[in-house]
A and B are shown apart, each in its own frame.
Chain A
Amino acid sequence: MTTSAAAEVAVILAAVALAAVAISPWLTTVFRMGTDTDGTGLPGTAGWFERWLTAIERPLLRAAGVWPVREMTATEYGAAIVVFHAAGFGLLLFFLRFQPLLPWNPDHLPAVPWLIAINTAASFVTNTNWQSYGGETTLSPLSQSLGLTVQNFASAACGLCVLAVLARGLVRRDSPTIGNFWQDLVRAIVGFLLPLAILLGLVLTSQGVVQSFETAIDVPLVDQDAVVEGAPPATRRIVTGPVASQVAIKQLGTNGGGYFNANSAHPFENPTPLTNLLEIVAMLMIPVASCLAFGRWVGDRRQGHALLAAMALLFLPFLLLIVRFETSPNPRLTAAAPTVDQSALGEHGGGALEGKEVRFGPVASAVFAVSTTATSCGAVNAMHDSFSPLGGLVAMWMMQLGEVVFGGVGTGLAGLIAYTLVAVFVAGLMVGRSPEYLGKKIESREMKMGMIVLLVPPIATLVGTATACVMPAEAAAAPNPGPHGFSELLYAFTSASNNNGSAFGGITATSAFWTLALAAAMLGSRLLTMLPLLAIGGSLAAKRTVAQSPGTLPTHTPLFVLLVAGTVILVGALSFVPALALGPIAEALQPPAVVLTGDGG
């Protein structure tokens, strides 16, 4: 890696760290860990932020009929999340299906077809934001704002709620309850995500991200000779919209669904290297800050640092690898067009620029790609489908680790805690002690629920990909030949099953099979990870705390960090190496002269 590439990576990482440290005290105060005895908040010592939160949540919760706040059991909390997801799904489906009859549809776009609408609704309520449509030609500003933007907030907030429940499970003793979902939801959105999104959105607008309700304008091309195939005088339609408001939350909430088809590669979503930096920071800062907040919640900051270290240990090597892969020239292009200089962007490395923007270059594109797949964001500033075989592998594998290396807002750290419980359990088995984490005994119920969290996404990914492969008509959704075509199928199910939402974008996943199978993978993985995590929280909260003894496994040491990271790698690697060998690894190993095609195979 050149020094300037290293400097660019270092600046981005430093910005992420600064932002996370800055917001972590704030995130800590958003969720109350202790039991709220009279349900009205406002204990005598509450600070101004707490009082402000209570003032905002009171009218909302009163309207919802849940004021004064009553604490919920894990079952009630889970039921509330499921019902909220279902209601969100229904409302979004309504907006998509009825957009021609609803106002604020200046370009008179028709109703979204049923299959696409179902897929999109599943995608946005689950924080996946897989997009089987092109935003600018499919959705009215009303659908984008009232439908999608709302779910961007709501799905991210649900992730934070699950994390808060897990933390309460570890903090509380002998407690039958784990907090109130509606209170947590309102606080996560109004007290945290919304202020951050307003701030980020305005900064992005100042740099050129559009934010307008004007209709599209037709502009004649400057070069009037640039007409294709005798088409009429050349004009182009410049589409704007309320973009900055959606981009801000799609990055912060690790949602990833862009206003435009090209997502953050589109100059109106991501106009400069500076906005690119801000969008990377926005993706990573809440997952990083969650680790720090977790340490504060459980009253031992080292615990948060250890989990963050485990994430960083899995993230940084792949960050360096993908930068290296994407700044290396594509040997096939060197062979086919020897006069082309693949290091044209000078100091910032060479590498094939197909699918990448000049203003970002290969380094910033690679950092964005690994960040968006490590977190469950799924926004893209370059087309992953055209990445080098091994660069694409890194992106895919970051998702296949289960979206726990940073992962989604809230859900990422919650998932890593499930891995941590497994690691504690394995360590306990090895030394013959009953496993415990932060003073709570880890028993059969926690392990069963933890295993569901670990195993559902890999199963959904592999079964889905295998099913697509044995149906020739559906496998044909992948346009590229050979192993890369297989990678496109694998990437699609990986992305859906881990609620990421990025794609090897060449795939045409609009058939009945693809829309419904991916919708099922998204919903199944989302609910079958969230609900077991809530169950773990409830079961831990009901336990009493056991005293530390010399035989207790310390969970903040470098050794334990390695143990957690190793557990994640084992599940990720053992589940996916065979599939990866058929896709990106085979593609990387195929000699330049040979062209493997999918025919006859």
Chain B
Amino acid sequence: MRRSRKFISEVLTTLKENIRRTGDPLGMKGVYWTEWAKGLHLPRQGKTVLLTGRMYQMLPYIMQVTKIISSAKPLLSRGGLGAAVNLGNRFMGDKVIRFRAVGSGKVRTKGANALRGIASALSAVGEMPAYLYEHEPYSGVLLYDLGLDDYIEEHVKRVYRLLKEHNVEKVIGVDPHTTFMLREVYPRYIEEFTIEVKHYLEILSENVEELKDGSKISLEGEYVIHDSCYLSRELGVIEQVRRISESIGISLREPENAKLDTACCGGPIEYAFRDLTEKVSRTRIEELSAISRDVLVVCPICLINLQKYEKELGINVWDMGELLLRALQPG
């Protein structure tokens, strides 16, 4: 709790500056979000685009950033701020993050597989969205979460202009946070917001028969579902994941805290309060792992927060996208 004011001040200032300068919350200028799409030959232009919001791709870097921030905290409490503790690029820098993220191979693979699975599933049901590759923007959801409303408008308008320049009429979101931002927050800042926003689970659940037909194998097995807060409470996407799971052969079990009453993974505050996140996520994963060794999540933040217990508890945490990939492209 000590020096929280100073610490949060650094985080907010850095986030604001990073997004203003580079459009990216991590302040990274290099393109790190397109690698997953290699070899998929997704069209670069189209009225419907798949918008990853860079969230799954960010996972290995988030892991490193939170570690760096955590280790910098004691410096703050001693008041020795200086250049070393100036978060963001001044503190982390592209190279530092990239270098340190080298060891995060598993998370990187899981994120990439999840995205490839989602793209494959959409293709299996006849949706062939374009992907903006290096032009793909970040939604700005962290600005919203942290109450930085004064800086949202500029970013939101920049992103909307970019989408319009690419003649986008429909966006398919892959994560709850980006989808929420575009569907619920953007229209508050853009008077004539005309882009249709859907979450990929909504599209797949409307086409479960095609998805079933397109699956090469039936996965089978019993999984416990961890509903995402934003997806269930803000976007109302609850039954869709259950219908899709059934169509690819998965049997889902429900924890006590599920659907509208789901419990948080703790992820949203890991950037600043790792100790609290650890307590929240442990409580949640213990509840889930008592039901099944295979945990199904539908959000990259939940994925990164719960997968860290895999080894310790002898469990597997899967993103829905990973399971879709296994069903559609086994091996």
Q: Do A and B come from one complex?
A: no
